[in-house]
Structure 1
Amino acid sequence: MLPNGVSLGRMQGPLAALASISPHFTGAVRVNGPSGTGFLLVQGGNPYAAAFEDTARDLLLSGDKAYSHLLDQSSLNYELIAYTAEETEAARETVREMGCQVSKDGAKLAVRNGTRGVDGLEQVARQPGVIAVSVFHEGFALQSLGTADFEQVAAIAEDLLRAGTRITADMAMGDLSQMILETPAGKLIIAPYGDLSLCILAKPDANLGLIRLSIRGIQDRPA
């Protein structure tokens, strides 16, 4: 019933991370399993319709309730479908008939992982010596800037971050802010980033002080 649009790819992770991946996205987010299927329609980053069928509980949600349910999920399998202006208008007409619009109050629900936006990643990527930077969640790279294959290391990087967190807790060192792996070929910095995690690849001669300061700057940014 909705326009086909153009697929931008399939992803896995929290729906709230969409605001970081594409803060001005216009189109459909098609959710598929394992707990159910549904969609979220967005224009310029603002949600305007949602529906979800929870197959496990035999429950059909629409509008604000569907949007809230999707945001509450820690991880979803979803596909991003880009819409043109004409396709967006056709989608809006369809959801008016379906009665699954998201209200203005519903659209103001907190988007936990997306509030920091992509500008923080760009701030880190601009530091001298930085080759690439990625934000990841549950072992999956959500967005990357620069040239590096973070898909191969995201899961291991997250495991290292968790191990470092346990070590600092056991040694009463306080909260972990960053981890640094260094070889003659380069440096890899892993750091918590709200509900997400950061991974930065840098050249051997990169100024770690500047990079660490830029990371702290976006970590401390209010959500």
Structure 2
Amino acid sequence: MLPDGVSLGRLQGPLAALATISPHFTGAVRIDGPGGTGFVLVQSGDPYAAAFESTGKDLLLGGDEAYRYLLDRPSLDYELIAYTSEETEAARRVSGETGCLIDGGGAKPAAPTEPMSTERLEHVARQPGVIAVSVFHEGFALQSLGSADFEQVAAVAEDLLRAGTRITGDMEMGDLSQMVLETPAGKLIIAPYGDLSLCILAKSDANLGLIRLSIRSMQDGTV
């Protein structure tokens, strides 16, 4: 049994957003739907244990497998439970006994195998009308150029990209190349790039054709 701790309130959203909401959190993230129950234990922002059981009990995961599964969920209902240092040690001991410890650890996902070069980001940033560009990985902004705060939207952009990929797959449209969000004030383009993702903020009158072409040349490996 995990320590009771002190409840800090309930939240809803992707697990990756916790790093932005409370980057130095220590305690338990108790998950209650949708789809099942579980927990992630965190110390100073670093997850060290996780478990998940689906509602129908047909899926039971622990450790790294549970953590990656929960990290990939687009939205979770969860409660933050703060732990003291004594409660943290007790929780870690219980997790070790039940096989729920995470081998990899780390609040941020592992670094991608091929980091984005600054020259490639600059290639996109130089396109007419581009305000800022960022590269992110599993909900965390890794590199950015220009004047925009991508930290707050990286996790949501990742969720949109995953949702778009599922939609194009269900509609048998082939692989997703780009997504565009457009308002009277500007445009936001989200695109996959290997195991990374791109997010480009542009002016409302920006030439989307040139921006799309620059993204496509990066995806094809010609720049």
TM-score by length of 2: 0.52
Q: Give the equivalent residue in structure 1 for 2:181.
A: 165
Q: Give the equivalent residue in structure 2 for 1:87.
A: 87
Q: What value does the CA root-mean-square deviation take over the aligned residues?
A: 3.3
Q: Give the equivalent residue in structure 1 for 2:160.
A: none
Verify: 1:9 aligned to 2:9, yes or no.
yes
Question: Aligned to 1:104, what secondary structure does the other structure show?
Answer: coil
Indicate how the Cα distance of structure 1 residues 105 and 91 shifts in structure 2: closer, same or farther if over 3 A, else same.
Answer: closer
Aligned residue runs from structure 1 range 12-27, under 5 A: 12-27=12-27
Contact 1:63/1:99, CA 8 A, preserved across alignment: yes
Contact 2:108/2:140, CA 8 A, preserved across alignment: no
- Counterpart-to-counterpart distance in 2, 1:36 and 1:100: 17
Q: Deviations over 1:139-164 (max 9, x none)?
A: xxxxxxxxxxxxxxxxxxxxxxxxx9
- Counterpart-to-counterpart distance in 1, 2:13 and 2:108: 21
Q: Deviations over 1:43-68 (max 9, x none)?
A: 01111100000224611000000000
TM-aligned CA deviation for residue 105 of structure 1:
6.3
Q: Give the equivalent residue in structure 1 for 2:73.
A: 73
Verify: 1:62 aligned to 2:62, yes or no.
yes
* 1:23 partner letter: P
Q: Give the equivalent residue in structure 1 for 2:187.
A: 175
Count of equivalent residues: 135
Q: Which runs of 5+ in 2 are unaligned?
A: 111-136, 143-147, 157-179, 190-197, 200-223
Instruction: Determine what percentage of the aligned residue pairs are the same residue.
Output: 60
| Higher helix proportion | 1
Verify: 1:52 aligned to 2:38, yes or no.
no
Question: Aligned to 1:34, what secondary structure does the other structure show?
Answer: coil
Question: Aligned to 2:17, what secondary structure does the other structure show?
Answer: helix
Q: Which runs of 5+ in 1 are unaligned?
A: 117-122, 125-134, 139-163, 178-193, 196-223
* 2:181 partner letter: T
- Counterpart-to-counterpart distance in 2, 1:82 and 1:49: 15
User: Which residue of 136, 139, 157 corresponds with 1:113?
Assistant: 139
Q: Give the equivalent residue in structure 2 for 1:97.
A: 97
* 1:175 partner letter: K
TM-aligned CA deviation for residue 166 of structure 1:
3.7
TM-aligned CA deviation for residue 38 of structure 1:
0.1
- Counterpart-to-counterpart distance in 1, 2:181 and 2:141: 24
TM-score by length of 1: 0.52
